[in-house]
């Protein structure tokens, strides 16, 4: 038995991605403001913070500019991922708290559930017709 046959959620997740719902949700989250009163999007905030972190790293060790691109990228990624993206935080914005708030939004959850239910019903109808 395949993994999909054992767990229908795998099929549902695959369909969710294939239909572009995952990218749609991700893009919506990234395009949203970081705070109610802000015009800065989450995507722009992250880009700005990554730029700042990389600039700090280069200021501390200028040899990073001349190192192998792959190893430099790995080093930068390691610094960004360390401690739950702590380096992306500012005094007023904690990235993990912000992301948790966005992902736990009842409207987002309801939208995802509605799309999943619709896909589940469509899959059931398709299976019945076969």
SS3 89: coil
Indicate whether 2 pLDDT > 80.
no
Residue 83: give the domain boundaries: 3-129
Which residues lie closer than 8 Å to 122 by C-beta, 6 or more apart? none
Contact by Cβ (8 Å): 96, 84: yes
Indicate whether 82 pLDDT > 90.
no
Number of structural domains (the chain) is: 1
* pLDDT 10s digits, 111-124: 999 998 888 888 77
* pLDDT 10s digits, 22-80: 999 999 999 999 887 789 999 999 999 999 999 999 999 999 888 888 988 898 899 88
């Amino acid at each position: 038995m395949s993994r999909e046959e054992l767990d229908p959620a795998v099929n549902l997740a695959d369909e969710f991605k294939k239909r572009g719902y995952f990218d749609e949700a991700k893009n919506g989250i990234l395009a949203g403001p970081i705070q109610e009163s802000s015009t800065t999007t989450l995507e722009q905030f992250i880009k700005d913070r990554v730029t700042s972190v990389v600039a700090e790293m280069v200021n501390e060790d200028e040899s990073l500019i001349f190192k192998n691109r792959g190893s430099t990228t790995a080093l930068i990624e390691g610094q960004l991922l360390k401690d739950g993206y702590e380096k992306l935080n500012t005094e007023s914005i904690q990235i993990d708290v912000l992301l948790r708030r966005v992902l736990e939004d009842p409207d987002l959850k309801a939208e995802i559930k509605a799309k999943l239910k619709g896909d589940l019903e469509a899959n059931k109808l398709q299976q019945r017709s076969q």
